[in-house]
Amino acid sequence: MNTQPIGIFDSGIGGTSIFKEIHALLPNENSIYLADSKHAPYGNKSKQEIINLSIKNTEHLLSQNCKLIVVACNTATTNAVSYLRSTYDVPFIGIEPAIKPAALNTKTNAIGILATKGTLSSDLFHRTTDLYSNGIKVIEQIGEGIVPLIEEGKVSSNEMKALLRLHLQPMIDANIDYLVLGCTHYTYLMPLLLELLPQHVKIIDSGLAVAKQIKAILNQNQLLNSTNKTPENLFHTNTNTIVLNDILEGKFKVKYLDF
């Protein structure tokens, strides 16, 4: 029985899509979420900047006694998770674009990846793509401008729809049948994506897989919280609390914190 919190961080509010999966699968677990919205987007920063921000977030979560850290950001995972794992003792769970299931199941031999520049240019992403993309076309699209709009609370705005139309067109032209979402913010675009993509295109999001992995690692390390006490799920943002609170539908405690 371990009541220490799970620590979760992202460049902003996108990682709440991962939190929701974790909370659904592990409802007893306490958690602390850091939305580093002040420094969003991470996607256009250098690898070293992304590592430095990930260190800052990790050290804050460790100072709060977290037992495991979820890097709920593809950009931070692909650029910084190996550094974090080699530096700190707690287990780290990251998230990467799920290329494998798309590449294995495509019938049109063309798949699309929508992610940030930081993710698409990382060594880890290149290694995974090289491993699975044999004989298929991988259309990589930088989701330029999407994260800032989501951070402004404009998930389903006309501006977002126009931007998405632009980003999706090269993939539609290439006749993709799978779209891999490579950014935790993009999960919130699901309704618009379903509207804009041809019906046969399947969308792959790895949130649930990440939550299952967290459960397995906690179990393996005997870190699961088996008490029946109502958990405490805290959210901290270093910008205003409104958008974070909205995306959580007002169900959790959201506080401003200068970190």
First-to-last CA distance in the chain?
A: 30
Q: Report d(CA 189, CA 39) in Å as an integer.
A: 21
Compute the distance between CA of residue 243 and CA of residue 234 in angstroms, rounded to an integer. Answer: 15
Shortest Cβ 118–ligand DGL spacing (Å): 6
Minimum gap (Å) between residue 117 Cβ and ligand DGL: 8
Q: Quick one: CA dihedral 4, 64, 55, 113, positive or negative? A: positive
Residues between 195 and 224 that touch ligand DGL (CB under 6 A)? none
Q: C-alpha dihedral over 164, 44, 38, 49, to 10 degrees?
A: 160
Residue in 16, 31, 57, 75 binding ligand DGL, rule: CB under 6 A: 75
Piece of the chain touching ligand DGL by CB under 6 A; list 9-17, 49-57, 96-104, 187-195 = 9-17
Q: 95 or 223: whose CB is closer to ligand DGL?
A: 95
Of 137, 122, 22, 123, which is closest to residue 70 (Cα–Cα)?
22
183 sits near ligand DGL (criterion: CB under 6 A): yes
- If one asks whether residue 141 binds ligand DGL (CB under 6 A), the answer comes out as no
Other Cβ atoms within 10 Å of 126 Cβ, number: 12
Check if 73 is active-site: yes
Q: Which of 26, 35, 68, 73 binds ligand DGL (CB under 6 A)?
A: 73
Burial of 175 by CB count in 10 Å (0-12 exposed, 13-18 middle, 19+ buried)?
middle
Tell me the closest approach of the beta carbon of residue 150 to ligand DGL, in angstroms.
9
Locate all alpha helices (DSSP H) within 92-206, ordered by sequence: 99-105, 117-120, 123-132, 146-151, 158-173, 190-196
Show the site string, 35-64: x = touches ligand DGL by CB under 6 A, - = not.
Answer: -----xxxx---------------------
- List 57, 74, 79, 233, residue binding ligand DGL (CB under 6 A): 74
The one segment of 8-16, 58-66, 200-208, 238-246 that binds ligand DGL by CB under 6 A = 8-16
Q: Are 72 and 95 in contact (CB under 8 A)?
A: yes
Residues 90-119 vs ligand DGL: string with x where CB under 6 A?
A: --------------------------x--x
For the CB of residue 181, give the shortest distance to ligand DGL in the complex, in Å. Answer: 9
Phi, psi of 253 (to 5 degrees): -80, 115
Residue 183 is a catalytic residue: yes
- Residues annotated as catalytic (active site), given as ranges: 73, 183
